[in-house]
Each structure stands twice: as structure tokens, then as C-alpha cells.
């Protein structure tokens, strides 16, 4: 199994400012943990070279006026008047915004093309997964929609390709869904906290695609507090059958770690072990449906110091099919202390959410109800 790793410290320049929850350390501490476990390098996660996405590549998903706006905000963030989703709030302007965003898009594009060319079996692009960016505006911490840009480029190179995009971020993958809403060659699946309770508000099971893309959108809005059992059940009941029926050539996954019960921005109930179990299901499903080909991106995740790097390390281990020892390397624990964190001793250590039995049963019941609606159409 050869797995490409599309990351360089230059991508940490995607920094929305001090105090913003979308910390670049989420990714750099993941890369550090992988290095400290000794799985970065030839024979394991192989560094993959990439260039920034070109304007032509960006324009497959975004419009020209939006690109001009991002460049202007990037060049002079202090005098940016606002608009196009860039400004105070979720997605503030910062110097070098265009370059950093184009670099992340380039990393995801390279990850996808290398796997499709057969140079790697799988790839991991941990800074990617900026799924909320829209055609004409930034949104939800996302400037350029790297995933949609990479998939659009792959479809242009190989018009016969079929792609399954699977998004397990706590938030609905609205930007990617929008880009391929009428596209029959892309199946977009999103499991997320129900939009009635969480940003961006979309992602109802009633959204199913349009025109020639009718039936190629599957949304599974999970009730607040949905836990490992609910997610694994939704995966077996709805995700796996949909992917098998679609028969994709490759799986592109967005792995936001903000469904973790400790995440400060969401209200879900996943544990680290739950993520590991989901990743195992995803790799098995890829083996069964598309020759094991997976390109995995990062995404959200705001328990950034100690939880997100551990979840994404387990994601990389699942791609490598490599079992990591549970004891965390001392070097990594020291790095976490240096940036003000209190590191746990074990990779999978997780006390889990504290939910009373009544809530747990209600959430389980509501998950079943949602699945029946989503599967019935």
C-alpha cells in the first residue's frame, strides 16, 4: 500500500488570525504526530509534491469576480471593504489569503491526480476539505473549495470517471454539493449535524440533486448528540449501499473531526474510537467498490490541540492499514505542552460524552427515523 501525503509547512500560512478556531496547528500537529510515530517517509506516508492551483483550475468551480475579490483582499487585507463572504466574522481577510488557499487547492488536486494515475494507492491531504466555499463567495472559514476544484479537474481529464465524495464533517458539505448538484458523475454524501441546529442550515434529506444529477446527492442529517452507534448504523444502512450502487472509480473523503463530543462548535457525540471504526468501514468499502482508491482530506475540528491530531493520525493509519501503538510518543507530547496543551498519554484515550440513558435512546430513535425518511426519499 503506497499512500501519498500532500502537505508542507507552507500550507500553515492558511491562518485566519489569532483567536480564530480554524488553527493551522490542527494540521501541523497531525504531521508532527505522524513523524513522531515514524510513519512519515518512504515505505509509509510518502511526501507528495504539488504546485498551487492555477487560475484555470480555480475557475472550474469559482467565478472570475470572486477570484479578483480574493486577490484584492489578500493583497491589502487592511483596506478590504468586505463582501463576497470575506470580512469580519467567519472568514476574515488576511495577507496572502489567495496564495495560501491556492496552495491548499493544489495539494488536494495533486493528491487526487496521483492516485488516479496509479502512482499512489491512496493519498492524504490534511489541510484540504474546505467544503463550505461557494462559486461566488467564501463561507465558513473556507476560501477556495479545494475538493470541488480537484474533482472538477479529474473529470475534465477523464470524462468517464465517477467520483464518490463522502463528507463526515459535523457541518453539511454545502459547497461541494452545490458544485455537483446537477452532475451525474459525482455522488455527494454528507453526514452532519441536522441543519436545523447547526451551520450552514442546509443538508436536508430532501436535497437529492437536480436535472441529470437527480439522485446523486445523499444527505444524512444526524440529530444532536448522535454518537458512535448512530454513525456506524447510518453508515451501514445508507452510506455503504449508496456507494455500492453508484460504483465509483474513487472515493474522496472529507474528514472534519468536529463531530467529536468535545468540539466547542458543534453538539455531536462521536469518540476517537468511533472515528477509528468509521475509517475502517470506509477503507473496507473502498476495497470493495473502487480498488481501495481513497483521497482523504481534513476539514473542520476545533478541539485542535489534542483531539484533532489524534483523529487524523488514526485516519492516516487506516489509509496505510498500519496499526499504531497506543502509547503516544514523548516527543509529540512535549510539542503539545510547548503550545500550551495538556496531552493525554494514549492515542485512543477518550472518556466519551456523558449522556443520560433517556437522551441516548431518544437520539438513537431519531437517527432511525431520519434514516427511514432519507432512504424512502
Show the DSSP H helices in the chain as ranges: 25-36, 55-59, 64-75, 97-116, 146-157, 174-179, 228-234, 240-246, 272-290, 307-320, 330-338, 357-376
Cβ 280 to Zn ion, closest distance in Å? 22
- If one asks whether residue 300 binds Zn ion (CB under 5 A), the answer comes out as yes
Number of residues that bind Zn ion (CB under 5 A): 6
Name the DSSP class of 83.
B
In the bound state with Zn ion, the residue whose beta carbon lies nearer, of 126 and 300, is: 300
In the bound state with Zn ion, the residue whose beta carbon lies nearer, of 114 and 171, is: 171
Name the DSSP class of 244.
H
What SS3 class is residue 40? strand
In the bound state with Zn ion, the residue whose beta carbon lies nearer, of 84 and 171, is: 171
Distance CA 202, CA 335 (A): 38
132 belongs to the catalytic site: yes
What SS3 class is residue 199? coil
Cβ 41 to Zn ion, closest distance in Å? 30
In the bound state with Zn ion, the residue whose beta carbon lies nearer, of 266 and 367, is: 266
Q: Strands of 163-167's sheet, edge to edge?
A: 45-47, 3-5, 122-125, 294-297, 250-254, 163-167, 186-193, 217-222
Which of these segments, 68-76, 293-301, 327-335, 339-347, binds Zn ion (CB under 5 A)? 293-301
**Residue window 222-261: x/- pattern of binding to Zn ion, with contact defined by CB under 5 A:** ----------------------------------x-x---
Cβ 288 to Zn ion, closest distance in Å? 28
Cβ 312 to Zn ion, closest distance in Å? 14
Catalytic residue among 98, 120, 131, 132: 132
In the bound state with Zn ion, the residue whose beta carbon lies nearer, of 153 and 308, is: 308
Picking from 174, 197, 114, the residue whose alpha carbon sits closest to that of residue 150 is 114
Distance CA 48, CA 305 (A): 25
Closest-approach residue to Zn ion (CB): 300
The set of cell numbers assigned to 295 is 483521497
Query: Dihedrals φ, ψ of 46, to 5°?
Result: -95, 120
Give the pairing of strands 45-47 and 3-5: parallel
Cβ 174 to Zn ion, closest distance in Å? 11
Q: By CB under 5 A, what part of segment 153-192 binds Zn ion?
A: 169-171
- If one asks whether residue 24 binds Zn ion (CB under 5 A), the answer comes out as no
In the bound state with Zn ion, the residue whose beta carbon lies nearer, of 169 and 183, is: 169
Q: By CB under 5 A, what part of segment 193-222 binds Zn ion?
A: none
**Residue window 268-287: x/- pattern of binding to Zn ion, with contact defined by CB under 5 A:** --------------------
Bridge partner list, 260 = 270
- If one asks whether residue 90 binds Zn ion (CB under 5 A), the answer comes out as no
269 with 218: CB under 8 angstroms?
A: no
Cβ 16 to Zn ion, closest distance in Å? 14
Q: Which helix or strand (DSSP H or E) is residue 250 part of?
A: strand 250-254
Q: Report, as residue numbers or ranges, the catalytic residues.
A: 132
Residues forming the site for Zn ion (CB under 5 A):
169-171, 256, 258, 300
Amino acid at each position: 500500500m503506497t499512500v501519498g501525503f500532500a502537505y508542507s509547512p507552507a500550507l500553515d500560512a492558511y491562518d485566519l488570525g489569532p483567536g480564530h478556531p480554524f488553527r493551522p496547528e490542527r494540521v501541523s500537529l497531525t504531521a508532527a504526530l505522524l513523524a513522531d510515530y515514524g510513519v512519515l517517509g518512504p515505505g509509509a506516508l510518502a511526501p507528495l509534491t504539488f504546485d498551487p492551483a492555477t487560475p484555470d483550475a480555480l475557475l472550474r468551480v469559482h467565478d472570475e469576480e470572486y477570484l479578483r475579490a480574493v486577490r484584492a483582499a489578500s493583497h491589502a487585507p487592511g483596506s478590504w471593504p468586505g463582501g463576497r463572504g470575506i470580512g469580519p466574522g467567519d472568514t476574515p481577510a488576511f495577507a496572502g489569503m489567495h496564495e495560501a488557499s491556492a496552495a491548499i487547492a493544489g495539494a488536494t488536486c495533486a493528491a487526487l491526480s496521483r492516485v488516479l494515475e496509479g502512482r499512489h494507492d491512496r493519498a492524504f491531504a490534511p489541510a484540504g476539505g474546505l467544503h463550505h466555499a461557494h462559486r461566488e463567495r467564501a463561507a465558513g472559514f473556507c476560501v477556495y473549495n479545494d475538493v470541488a476544484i480537484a474533482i472538477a479537474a479529474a473529470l475534465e481529464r477523464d470524462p468517464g470517471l465517477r467520483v464518490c465524495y463522502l463528507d463526515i464533517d459535523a457541518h453539511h458539505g454545502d459547497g461541494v454539493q452545490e458544485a455537483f448538484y446537477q452532475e451525474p458523475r459525482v455522488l455527494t454524501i454528507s453526514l452532519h449535524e441536522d441543519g436545523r441546529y447547526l451551520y450552514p442550515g442546509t443538508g436536508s434529506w430532501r436535497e437529492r440533486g437536480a436535472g441529470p444529477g437527480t439522485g446523486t446527492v445523499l444527505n444524512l442529517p444526524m440529530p444532536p448528540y448522535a454518537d458512535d452507534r448512530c454513525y456506524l448504523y447510518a453508515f451501514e444502512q445508507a452510506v455503504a449501499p449508496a456507494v455500492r450502487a453508484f460504483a465509483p472509480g474513487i472515493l474522496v473523503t472529507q474528514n472534519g473531526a468536529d463531530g467529536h463530543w468535545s468540539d466547542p462548535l458543534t453538539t455531536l457525540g462521536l469518540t476517537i474510537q468511533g472515528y477509528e471504526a468509521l475509517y475502517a468501514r470506509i477503507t473496507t468499502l473502498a476495497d470493495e467498490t473502487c480498488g481501495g482508491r481513497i483521497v482523504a482530506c481534513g476539514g473542520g475540528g476545533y478541539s485542535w490541540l489534542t483531539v484533532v491530531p489524534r483523529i487524523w493520525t488514526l485516519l492516516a493509519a487506516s489509509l496505510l492499514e498500519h496499526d499504531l501503538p497506543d502509547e503516544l510518543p514523548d516527543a509529540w507530547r512535549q510539542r503539545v505542552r510547548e503550545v500550551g496543551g495538556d496531552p493525554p498519554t494514549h492515542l485512543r484515550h477518550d472518556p466519551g460524552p456523558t449522556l443520560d440513558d433517556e437522551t441516548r435512546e431518544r437520539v438513537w430513535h431519531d437517527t432511525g427515523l431520519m434514516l427511514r425518511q432519507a432512504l424512502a426519499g
